[in-house]
A and B are shown apart, each in its own frame.
Chain A
Amino acid sequence: DAGVIQSPRHEVTEMGQEVTLRCKPISGHDYLFWYRQTMMRGLELLIYFNNNVPIDDSGMPEDRFSAKMPNASFSTLKIQPSEPRDSAVYFCASSTRADTQYFGPGTRLTVL
Chain B
Amino acid sequence: QKEVEQNSGPLSVPEGAIASLNCTYSDRVSQSFFWYRQYSGKSPELIMSIYSNGDKEDGRFTAQLNKASQYVSLLIRDSQPSDSATYLCAVLGGGKLIFGQGTELSVKP
A interface, CB within 8 angstroms of B: 33, 42-43, 45, 48, 55-56, 91, 98-106
Contact = CB atoms under 8 A, between A and B. Distances in A.
Nearest to B51: A99
Contacts of B102: 42-43
Interface stretch (B62-70, B71-79, B89-97): B89-97
B93 to A, nearest CB: 10
A42 B95 contact: no
Given A98-B92, A102-B46, A105-B43, A43 B99 contact: yes
Consensus secondary structure, chain A interface: strand
B97 A99 contact: yes
A99 B90 CA distance: 9
A20 to B, nearest CB: 20
B44 interface: yes
B95 A56 contact: yes
A103 B43 contact: yes
B46 A98 contact: no
29 contacts: A33-B96, A33-B97, A42-B99, A42-B100, A42-B102, A43-B44, A43-B99, A43-B102, A45-B98, A55-B95, A56-B94, A56-B96, A91-B43, A91-B44, A98-B92, A98-B95, A98-B96, A98-B97, A99-B34, A99-B49, A99-B92, A99-B97, A100-B34, A100-B46, A103-B43, A103-B44, A103-B45, A105-B42, A106-B43
